[in-house]
A and B are shown apart, each in its own frame.
Chain A
Amino acid sequence: MKKLLLFALFFAAAFVNINNVSADSTSTGMGFDVDSTMYGVKDDYDTHSSYSYYVKSGTSYIIGWSRLETAVYKDLTDSDWALVIAKAQAEPMNIKIPGLFGIKYTYDSITYEANLRSDIDGSYMYTYYGDLYTNSGFVMAEPEPMIEPQSNEYTVSVEVSGTPKVSATTSFTVDELEFDFDHSGANQIYDVTFEYICVTGSCDYANELTYNRGLFLVDMTAGYNGNVGDFFNTMTLETSFGDKIGRFSTPIVVYKTILNTLYY
């Protein structure tokens, strides 16, 4: 009886373990729940941060910080596909800046928009030795998560302030945040712009540290013409920061682009 009980307990423990397959720490850290059974652990990860500077009278003033994290996973169940996840962060930073008669005033910095763009066809990278690598031929599928497969309507994750949410299917209210999206399999471009412009309600999030995420599938069957491994992708984050006071007149907006490279 004891043996039977122990066997049952071991069986139950094994069953629980099997069903608790979780995402790797990179994807959970970026706020995604990537199935490790299907995708394993990441094949590559890249991240870069940058400050945006407003230059006045020869002095550079930091008015914003942004960061792009990206990771790629092979689809272990179907070698025709790869999964790319991206998490972007933007934080406006207030400064004291000289105004009339040199008297300093507070420059209330806000985020205007964050553009996340991946153009696999146009990917390139200079190595240490000055060689130029190019690749082409990837076709990108619709980004996930989708409301329905093959539809043109996408659920997009948008997170405002605080800590990033775990769910990858968070949707946003249209009147809180405007959003431009362009995805083309033909042009092999994934392009999404999170615009921090409120139509109604509060715009407080434009002053805060915010998170935006994107996720898309890459069709590997189209062939790969580059000479850096089997997969190569560059993704850019272009964040724009500016003065809150100027948003109803002529804002001075500083754009900053960050480039990440993924390959395996």
Chain B
Amino acid sequence: MNSKQERQTSDKNQIPTAVFLTIAFVLLLSLNPFSKKIPEGLPLNYYDRIEILEDYDTNIYIYSDVIDLNEHYGFFELNSINPTSGYQSDTTFIIIDMNKFIENYDDASNIEALFNSTCSYIVIANYHSSNTNYVIDFYELTDKDSDLVFYKNNELCESDFNKHSFSDSFPSIVYLNYAIFDTISRIYGEQE
């Protein structure tokens, strides 16, 4: 075999290797195993939103059996709604899942007492999907179809905050968790 034939054989052997490497490179680019995984269906700004919460040292308290912030942000789990717990920070958010609330309380007075005693944000989640009959004093009639509303006691806190309310339900809890991140970061943006 002369050198020309050897070179042609060598070139032919290299073709499958090149194809394999190209496919592997494309797959590597598309799968990007080194990047943090965003839950399916959520936007690319997912971790940017979480970073904003971290930058503000946001404290989140959650009264729920299902809301877990997709396990991407640490939170305090609440076993009861306690109006005297002394949450007073502008960067504290207390999330009350009505699905859990209606199983444990006879009336909404605990939520109202909490609202009237804190300058933290009170977040009512799953009001619509829980099919609750609770009438909460500060909960507005126009939010009856909402599953996520952010309130703040403006009179108590001398605040100009306008509520944030979603007009409808979410496809799953993963999206509701994202909406919490997204809304908190927008609230911070409005304050700047």
Could you tell me which A residues sit within 8 Å of B by CB distance?
A: 25-26, 29, 45-51, 53, 59-63, 65, 69, 93-96, 103-106, 125, 127-128, 258-261
Contact = CB atoms under 8 A, between A and B. Distances in A.
A261 B142 contact: yes
Interface in B25-50: 26-27, 30-31, 38, 40-45
Contact of A62 (B27, B41, B165): B41
A93 B167 contact: no
Contacts of B164: 47, 49
22 contacts: A26-B160, A46-B142, A47-B163, A49-B165, A49-B166, A50-B166, A50-B167, A53-B41, A59-B41, A60-B171, A62-B42, A62-B178, A93-B43, A93-B45, A96-B38, A103-B26, A105-B30, A127-B141, A128-B135, A128-B141, A258-B167, A260-B142
Interface of B: 26-27, 30-31, 38, 40-45, 135, 140-142, 144, 146, 160, 162-168, 170-171, 175, 178-179, 182-183, 190
Contacts of B142: 46, 48, 125, 260-261
Closest 9 CB pairs of A and B: A93-B43, A48-B167, A25-B160, A103-B30, A60-B171, A50-B167, A94-B44, A261-B142, A258-B167
Query: Interface SS of chain B: helix, strand, loop or mixed?
Result: loop
Contacts, number: 74
B160 A29 contact: yes
Given A50-B168, A63-B43, 8 more contacts: A49-B167, A62-B175, A69-B162, A93-B45, A95-B43, A103-B26, A127-B141, A128-B141
A103 B23 CA distance: 12
